[in-house]
């Protein structure tokens, strides 16, 4: 039987908690669902000392029971798969939303696999991992219950000044996304001090060369002085950033496009930029604009079937331990796994 396939953000996979004490921990992974589900397939929890220490699989319906099974697996050293809901032998545990959940418990996951996953996450690279009762494996493997692709979370690079910049940075960070703010304005930077954002002062001389953008990056501009925009947008256009958007009117967009053409940006790349940015037009409130733009970014991420497109066998996988590597998969199979994970991060149930 072919394993199920899924793709989630690294944010839904509690690596750090597993690495704290791998031999004393069990990881429980959602390997299948039927009907409504609170969490995506691939989401996980870590159990240690009889309790869940990280992650969630339901709205509290099954975690306590999973912790009991996880401790039993740690005692025996054997993995197990449990079903809850429809078709489950545990008739006393009901799922209010209906449907069913399948959870695979892995006691003492291999620390070398966890470390390699953590290294790929730190480098903002996607990874493949197989899930079976025998443990976590490196790359897709025959006999697994689930072949899981882990992709970096969206990282926001916010350029601008004033209340729109502050409101958007606060909203994105509140949603759990890494956010870095670049501004020429001391008041804007001061308003974000101590709020967990990266903050950098922007100057007209450039200084963008070390602003690293990848295909999981979203670049958003909030300037009323549009003279700041062309160099920033040209830098973003030369990257793989999946979203580039700027505040402003249609007239400002036309002037901006003309300047980008003069700077040598390809017309087809300019056409992908959002401007005016946001799902709805005419926002005259900084908070409404922030919601509108964040919604557009999430929508665009969900629409991109290749958001997590494979970078090649040598870059986007863990070293294969079983002889079967990421490179053995057909490109179409890779793309089928590269589903947008962002909606699951932002949409709840």
In a domain, 310, yes or no: no
In a domain, 319, yes or no: no
Give the pLDDT of residue 13. 93
Please tell me whether residues 105 and 176 are part of one structural domain: no
Q: What is the CATH number of the domain that holds 215?
A: 3.40.50.720
Which of 113, 148, 183 is a domain's end point? 148
Give the pLDDT of residue 3. 67
Please tell me whether residues 99 and 125 are part of one structural domain: yes
In a domain, 333, yes or no: no
- Confidence bin at 2 (pLDDT 50/70/90): low
In a domain, 114, yes or no: yes
Which of 131, 148, 165 is a domain's end point? 148
Please tell me whether residues 128 and 214 are part of one structural domain: no
Please tell me whether residues 137 and 217 are part of one structural domain: no
| pLDDT for residue 141 is more than 90 | no
Please tell me whether residues 132 and 264 are part of one structural domain: no
Give the pLDDT of residue 344. 41
Please tell me whether residues 112 and 10 are part of one structural domain: yes
Mean pLDDT of 149-158: 93
Please tell me whether residues 170 and 226 are part of one structural domain: yes
Q: pLDDT digit string (tens) for 43-86? A: 999 999 999 999 999 878 899 999 999 999 999 999 999 999 88
Domain that residue 48 falls in: 4-148
Q: pLDDT digit string (tens) for 7-47? A: 888 988 999 999 999 999 999 999 999 888 888 899 999 99
Which of 148, 165, 196 is a domain's end point? 148
- Confidence bin at 184 (pLDDT 50/70/90): very high
| pLDDT for residue 155 is more than 90 | yes
Please tell me whether residues 170 and 135 are part of one structural domain: no
Give the pLDDT of residue 340. 40
In the chain, % of residues over pLDDT 90: 64
Please tell me whether residues 220 and 138 are part of one structural domain: no
- Judged by average pLDDT, the poorest of 87-96, 164-173, 321-330 is 321-330
- Judged by average pLDDT, the poorest of 168-172, 199-203, 239-243, 254-258 is 199-203
Helix H, strand E, coil C: the string for the chain is CCCEEEEEEHHHCCHHHHHHCHHHEEEEEEEEEECCCCCCCCCEEEEECCEEEEECCCCCCCHHHHHHHHHHHHHHCCCEEEEEECCCCCCCCCCCCCCEEEEEEEECCCHHHHHHHHHHHHCCCCEEEEEECCEEEECCCCCCCEEEEEECCCEEEEEECCHHHHHHHHHHHHCCCEEEEEECCHHHHHHCCCCCCEEEECECCECCCCCCCCCCEEEEEECCCHHHHHHHHHHHHCCCCCEEEECCCHHHHHHHHHHHHHCCCCHHHHHHCECCCCCCCCCCCHHHHHHHHHHHHHHHHHHCCCCCCCCCCCCCCCCCCCCCCHHHCCHHHHHHHCCCCHHHHHHCC
In a domain, 70, yes or no: yes
Please tell me whether residues 188 and 108 are part of one structural domain: no
- Judged by average pLDDT, the poorest of 239-243, 268-272, 295-299, 301-305 is 301-305
User: What's the number of domains the chain is made of?
Assistant: 2
Considering only residues 2 and 254, tell me which one the structure prediction assigns the higher pLDDT. 254
Please tell me whether residues 219 and 159 are part of one structural domain: yes
In a domain, 316, yes or no: no
Please tell me whether residues 228 and 128 are part of one structural domain: no
In a domain, 61, yes or no: yes
In a domain, 345, yes or no: no
């Amino acid at each position: 039987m072919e394993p199920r396939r899924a793709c989630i953000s690294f944010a839904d996979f509690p690596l750090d908690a597993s690495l704290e004490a791998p031999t004393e921990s069990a990881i429980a992974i959602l390997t299948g669902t039927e009907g409504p589900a609170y969490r995506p397939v691939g989401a996980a929890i870590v159990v240690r000392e009889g309790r869940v220490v990280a992650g969630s699989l339901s709205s509290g319906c099954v975690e306590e029971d999973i912790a009991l099974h996880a401790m039993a697996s740690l005692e025996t050293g054997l993995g197990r798969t449990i079903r809850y809901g429809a078709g489950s032998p545990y008739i006393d545990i009901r799922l209010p939303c209906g449907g069913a959940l399948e959870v695979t418990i892995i006691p003492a996951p291999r620390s070398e696999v966890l470390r390699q996953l953590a290294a790929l996450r730190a480098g903002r690279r996607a990874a493949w991992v197989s899930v079976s009762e025998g443990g976590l494996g490196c790359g897709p493997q025959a006999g697994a219950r689930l072949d899981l692709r882990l992709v970096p979370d969206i990282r926001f690079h916010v350029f601008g000044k004033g209340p729109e910049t502050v409101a958007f940075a606060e909203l994105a960070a509140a949603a759990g996304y890494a956010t870095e703010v670049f501004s020429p304005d001391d008041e804007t930077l001061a308003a974000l001090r101590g709020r967990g954002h990266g903050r950098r002062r922007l100057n007209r001389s450039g200084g963008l060369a070390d602003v690293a953008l990848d295909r999981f990056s979203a670049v958003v501009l909030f300037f009323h002085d549009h003279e700041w925009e062309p160099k920033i947008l040209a830098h973003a256009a030369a990257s793989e950033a999946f979203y580039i958007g700027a505040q402003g009117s249609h007239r400002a967009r036309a002037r901006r496009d003309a300047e980008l053409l003069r700077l040598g940006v390809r017309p087809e790349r300019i056409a992908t930029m959002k401007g005016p940015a946001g799902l709805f037009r005419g926002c005259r409130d900084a908070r409404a604009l922030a919601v509108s733009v964040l919604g557009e970014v999430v929508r665009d991420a969900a629409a991109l079937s290749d958001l997590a497109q494979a970078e090649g066998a040598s870059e986007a996988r863990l070293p294969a331990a079983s002889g079967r590597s990421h490179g053995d998969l057909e490109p179409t199979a890779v793309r089928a796994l590269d589903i947008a994970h962002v909606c699951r991060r932002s949409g709840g149930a």
